[in-house]
Amino acid sequence: MAGLKNGAVAWREALLAQDCLLCGANSGQDMLCPPCAANLPALDAPCCPCCAQPVPIAGTCGACLARPPRFDATFALWRYAFPLDQLIQSLKYAHRIASADFFGQALAALPCVAPPDLILPVPLSATRLAERGFNQSVEIARPLARRLGVPLELAHVLRCRDTTPQASLPWKERAKNVRHAFECRLDLSGKTVWLIDDVMTTGATLDELARTLKAHGAARVENRVVARAVKAD
């Protein structure tokens, strides 16, 4: 009987075995094999609790003290660097949705004091959505919302105008590029909202989105992002 049971377990594990999203090796029931998982680039600690940029001494960074952003906190899984950048780019441009599931599950594992009232993936414009065919932030947010049992908002917060892709602009021009780019059709009075995105670079998009949400009553806006781009000194 024990032999049959062990055989059934082995058969089930073989059936559920996956290939590593990065190197393609058998990774068992995990999405990354142990060596690739260990290779993901960690964010240097400590980090600014507001924007998640690494800081020399624990506390809020100088930039956030000088100009406090409209969001209240940022939590990032990793630093945006090799080989994580390959996973993110394969999701966005090769439609490898399995990467989004991996990212969403990893975000769900981050510690939190209390779940939000609403999870909001950063919206794409209608034009960009039609070009790409999907919103990678939505796909990342789905498993997170399922795991936490929190509503996923997809219909009432919109990107109301096309903007130049942020990645193509100098850092200093990004805030101007996304100004008044979002529209909210919800009463968010007293609510906590989590914004979900793949990469946070300057934070300009998230800041403008947080401004829009707070104008509609949101009490707290937190960012949950897969990767934080670290600005060189």
pLDDT tens for the chain, 233 residues long, are 545 444 444 334 444 578 999 999 999 989 999 999 999 999 988 999 999 999 999 999 999 999 999 999 999 999 999 999 999 999 999 999 999 999 999 999 998 889 999 999 999 988 889 988 999 999 999 999 999 999 999 999 999 877 666 565 555 666 667 788 899 999 999 999 999 999 999 999 999 999 999 999 999 999 999 999 997 65
Give the C-alpha separation, 153 to 194, whole Å: 10
223 with 206: CB under 8 angstroms? yes
Query: Which domains, and CATH codes, for the chain?
Result: 1-39 (no CATH), 42-228 (3.40.50)
Cα dihedral sign, 135-174-180-60: positive
Q: Any bridge partners for residue 184, and if so which?
A: 157
Closest CA to 49 of 118, 111, 120, 136: 111
